[in-house]
Amino acid sequence: MKLLLSLLITLFVLSEAQAQKIDSDFDSLTSYYRSRLFRNKDSINIPLMYKDKDFNIVLADTSLGIQTESVVFESPYLKDSFPLSYSVIYDKHIISLFEPGYFACYRLSDFSRNKDFEDQLNKQKFKSHWLIGNILHAITYNEDWYAYVDSNWEKIDKIALPVNNKSNLYDDEDYLIYSDCYGEWGGTIYFYNRKTKNIHFTKATCAYTVLKDKTGYKVLSSLSHADLILIPDPTKLPKTSEVMTGTSGIQSDAQEIFSLYWLEIFSMFNINEKVYYIVYWKETTFLAEINGKNIIIVDPLFNNHLFTHRPITKKYESGEILINLDFWGLGREREVSMLLLKDNKLTKIDWNSDQKQTHNFMRKK
């Protein structure tokens, strides 16, 4: 009996310690808000920390407890260079492409380089690469398209995808989805229908992430503010050919889910059938759920400032989520970092060890 009581007490103490540990994950974030944002420690309340007519910032009861770490990959071919196109996950590796056109392959298990795999991929030089339909695709400097099949590059017909370093937002058996962004002048999201070969489009200022559910395709855009729209049926959007012939405008059946000013949302993704968002607000970056007007902070991530301009998020069939991050002041539109979410662990991967000395992409508070 005494042994059972002792065991129960031990389990209770451990659970309480774990609860305190999880709750303390928010300490750095709330301390920053108190000391630098609101100035007066009594002006912030928990859990409702900020209330506005458009949205509220609310602290969850406990953090998700996501583990975080930071690692550095050195540019493998030209010192301090950045990838030519956004990295992808393929065959349990992070696959990156560098000048003068060669791949670098990093094992997901321990981030070590697999040079044998690199030798297989580097039979010729490429200028961009994508993962489309779980097949690695690349394009040469001569604009020839190739697919990597059965450990060999096979030349294929050109895909209806603009040749730039981060066009492919999402693909399934029906559509290949990509976008363009012209900053304050707007942007467009395109749905290439694989069966009909038609390209449908609608307005979306700097669209970065696409999620599909039973209601349709949800498109997240962010540029000084955040927009989420729902496109139930892309075939009801105008075709690019119709606009070129003057028979259609850009009106569409896209439905607005939210439009939020004074914050940015860099990413959205599903975990266990819940949608989470990486939110940037008041020089802090955190993971949140959105429920009506409430933006609920569920994890502080790195507990500091993390900023990017035009990220892209993709969830892979193997379960990993990879978020490619650029930073205009350092790499222009090149990928300068990645966020890899795998097994409740978020790893920030920076290209080049001198990056922290050259900019404040992530600065400590």
> pTM value?
0.86
> Model confidence at 330, in pLDDT bands (50, 70, 90)?
low
- 28-84 pLDDT per residue, tens: 888 888 776 665 555 567 788 888 888 999 999 999 999 999 999 999 998 889 999
> Model confidence at 359, in pLDDT bands (50, 70, 90)?
very low
Mean pLDDT of 137-144: 95
> Model confidence at 23, in pLDDT bands (50, 70, 90)?
low
Q: Is residue 151 scored above 70 in pLDDT?
A: yes
Q: Is residue 86 scored above 50 in pLDDT?
A: yes
> Model confidence at 220, in pLDDT bands (50, 70, 90)?
very high
Report pLDDT for 30.
84
3-state secondary structure the chain: CHHHHHHHHHHHHHHHHHHHHHHHHHHHHHHHHHHHHCCCHHHCCCCEEEECCCCEEEECCCCCCCEEEEEEECCCCCCCCCCCEEEEEECCEEEEEECCCEEEEEECCCCCECHHHHHHHCCCCCCEEEEECCEEEEECCCCCEEEEECCEEEEECCCCCCCCCCCEEEECCCEEEEEEECHHHCEEEEEEECCCCCEEEEECCCEEEEEEECCEEEEEEECCEEEEEEECCHHHCCEHHHHHCCCCCCCCCCEEEEEEECCEEEEEEEECCEEEEEEEECCEEEEEEEECCEEEEEECCCCCCCCCCCCEEEECCCCCEEEEEECHHHHCCCEEEEEEEECCEEEEEEECCCHHHHCCCCCCC
**Which of 20 and 48 is assigned the larger pLDDT?**
48
The percentage of residues in the chain with a pLDDT greater than 90, rounded to a whole number, is 58
Name which of 33-42, 157-166, 183-192 the model is least confident about: 33-42
Mean pLDDT of 6-34: 58
